[in-house]
Structure 1
Amino acid sequence: MGPFAKKNQNSDGYKPTAIPKALKVINGHKEGITMERLNNQARTMTTQEGSGLEKRIGSIFIHVSDMKRAVEWYSRVLDLPFNDDYLEERLSTVYTLHLEGTEILLDSNHGAAPGPQPMMFFKTDDIRKTLQFMKENGIVIHNEVLENNIVIFEDPDGNRLMAIQM
């Protein structure tokens, strides 16, 4: 050991005792800190103060007039598998499309008129590939703003959607 080295320290000044202390806190061994408390703190971080609402979207409803057509269209466009029972119109009036982080609920219960503005957007890594897919599949396109990496299109019910290359 060199003249400046201290007990429990290597030549770089690293104190290995700091790691066990950190592990004790993470594992809930330090007084007042438990895994339950850490989990509650994590839940609090995703909840809006006062309202109890989480800071994320749970589901998005899209009102459709023809469930079979909507399930086929969204499943094809989003490259998702689908439940054949919906195509034979044997199931309920709500169909769930599971996406990363949220879900889309196709709802044939209430006939809502489509709005003039896109209701949401989907991210794409290649806007030109996305646009080509839409054209090849006869999807109605309202606006191609390729210099800004945006394409506005609509589903079979006229609900406007957007694709953005990010």
Structure 2
Amino acid sequence: MTAQAAGVGRRVTGVFVHVTDMGRAIAFWSAVLGVPAGRTSHEGLIHDLHPPGPDAVPVVLDGHRHARGIDRGDHGPLFMLAVDDVAVARERLAELGGAPGEVEDIGSVLVVHAQDPDGNRFVLAQPAR
């Protein structure tokens, strides 16, 4: 039986965001996702943020790489967030220090590439109308 047939890897259970300052990351990502901050775990190096909804995927703020001195290197966006109005979301993100780029129409969606205060890249996406 293949791994896929056994159902391995069919559901995302968390998205990792590697951070250098847990307090700053918690404040930023709690505001972006509109969820309350909870408690950290693993000696203050992990913080789970749980967006509402039965199919919502938790965002895991992870300070392990930074604590261990591991260089993240350059990487593309870590994930994409669906938004109802990309222009409004871009403006709010800028207020939070999220360094958003310009709105781009890529056909099926309008996107904004952005990054959090630690340089983690992500995309905001609004379905094209």
The answer to whether TM tops 0.5 is: yes
- Deviation (angstroms), 1:57: 0.4
Structure 2 unmatched runs, 5+: none
Q: TM-score, normalised by structure 1?
A: 0.60
Distance (Å, rounded) in 1 between the aligned partners of 2:11 and 2:87: 29
> Residues 116 and 143 (structure 1 numbering): CA distance in 2 closer, same or farther, change over 3 Å?
farther
SS in 1 for 2:60: strand
Higher relative contact order (CA 8 A, sep 6+): 2
Of residues 72, 78, 86 in structure 1, which corresponds to 2:27? Answer: 72
Match of 2:78 in 1: 119
Distance (Å, rounded) in 1 between the aligned partners of 2:96 and 2:44: 27
Contact 2:15 2:58 in 1 (8 A): yes
1:1-166 equivalence runs, <5 A: 48-50=4-6, 52-83=7-38, 86=40, 92-99=44-51, 100=53, 101=55, 102-111=57-66, 112-113=71-72, 115-146=74-105, 148-166=109-127
Contact 2:28 2:96 in 1 (8 A): no
Residues paired across the two proteins, number: 116
Q: Pairwise CA RMSD of aligned residues?
A: 2.5
- Deviation (angstroms), 1:136: 2.9
Distance (Å, rounded) in 2 between the aligned partners of 1:114 and 1:161: 15
Q: Write out per-residue CA displacement over residues 7-29 of structure 1, whole angstroms, 9 at most, x where no aligned residue.
A: xxxxxxxxxxxxxxxxxxxxxxx
Q: Percent identity?
A: 27
Structure 1 unmatched runs, 5+: 1-46
Distance (Å, rounded) in 2 between the aligned partners of 1:131 and 1:73: 14
Distance (Å, rounded) in 1 between the aligned partners of 2:118 and 2:95: 19
Q: Write out per-residue CA displacement over residues 112-157 of structure 1, whole angstroms, 9 at most, x where no aligned residue.
A: 5153421110001111111121233332123431575100100111
Distance (Å, rounded) in 2 between the aligned partners of 1:65 and 1:146: 32
Higher radius of gyration, 1 or 2: 1
